[in-house]
Structure 1
């Protein structure tokens, strides 16, 4: 995680962030109540249940609260470095 971040929303924050690690939980819910009927692992999930394909890390700006994929903060930091040269 040794990448520079820069918030593309408030454009001032380069130091205060919340790193959110996502750990998907594969479940089957009751359609009426929303209760968990069954919980699966990656090895025993049902054939028609697609695996999670989203980012494993999200970043939240500690100043303005923007919550986005880590890539957005990295790319904005690179963009700002090039602009300031």
Structure 2
């Protein structure tokens, strides 16, 4: 993170943020109990299991609580 952030919701916060690292865990659950039946690695996914393609990092505004992708906060930070 070397670019300035600014919250697109409250529009004033430029310094207080929570960085949320997203670490996907691919599992197969029992549909009745919710217990984990099988855990997959990214190299060994089931043919019917799609790999996670979301962002690695989410950002939460430390002032208003908005949670968005990091790109949203970066783009709004570039505008000011």
The TM-score by the shorter chain falls in which range? over 0.9
The alignment status of 1:9 with 2:9, answered yes or no, reads yes
For 2:56, the equivalent position in structure 1 comes to: 56
What's the CA shift for 1:35? 0.9
Q: RMSD of the alignment, in Å?
A: 0.7
Segments of structure 1 that go 5 or more residues without pairing to the other structure are: 81-85
Instruction: Specify the structure having the higher radius of gyration (Cα).
Output: 1
- 1:57 to partner: Cα distance: 0.3
Q: Name the counterpart of 2:29.
A: 29
1:65 alignment partner in structure 2: 65
Poorly superposed stretches of 4+, deviation over 6 Å: none
Structure 2 length normalisation: TM-score? 0.96
1:6-28 per-residue CA deviation (whole Å, 9 max, x = no partner) reads 00000110000000110000000
Q: How many residues align?
A: 80
